[in-house]
Amino acid sequence: MRDDLSDVRGVLQEAFGQVRLDVSVEEIEAMGRTRRARRRVVTTAGACAAVAALAFAVPGGGGGTAPPTQAGDSTGAGAVHVRTAAYTVDTKTDGTIHVTWDKGRYFADHAGLERALNQARFPVLIKVGEFCRGPHDGELDPSGVGPGVDKVMRGERAGDGRVTFVFTPSAMPKGKQLFIGYLDAEQLQVTHGRPGSVERLVPTDEPLTCTTQTPPRHR
Structure confidence by residue, pLDDT tens digits, 16-27: 444 444 445 555
HSE toward the beta carbon, residue 95, CA cutoff 13 A: 6
Cα 187 to Cα 209: distance, rounded to the nearest angstrom: 19
Q: For the chain, how are helix, strand and coil distributed in percent, rounded to 5?
A: 30, 25, 45
| pTM more than 0.85 | no
Residues contacting 49, CB < 8 A, separation 6+:
none
Strands in 159-217 per DSSP E: 162-167, 176-182, 197-203, 209-211
pLDDT: which is higher, 55 or 194: 194
pLDDT: which is higher, 76 or 62: 76
Cα 126 to Cα 148: distance, rounded to the nearest angstrom: 17
Tell me the sheet residues that pair with 133.
209
> Above 70 in pLDDT, residue 213?
yes
Q: How many CB atoms lie within 10 A of CB 83?
A: 15
Q: How many CB atoms lie within 10 A of CB 71?
A: 6
Q: What's the Cα-to-Cα distance from 192 to each of 24, 186, 188, rounded to whole Å?
A: 10, 10, 5
Residues 176/201, Cβ–Cβ less than 8 Å: yes
Q: Give the neighbor-by-neighbor strand order of the sheet with 197-203.
A: 124-128, 176-182, 197-203
pLDDT over 90, % of the chain: 38
Q: What's the Cα-to-Cα distance from 89 to each of 58, 108, 178, 186, rounded to whole Å?
A: 9, 15, 16, 29
> Above 90 in pLDDT, residue 123?
yes
Confidence label for 174 from pLDDT (cuts 50, 70 and 90): very high
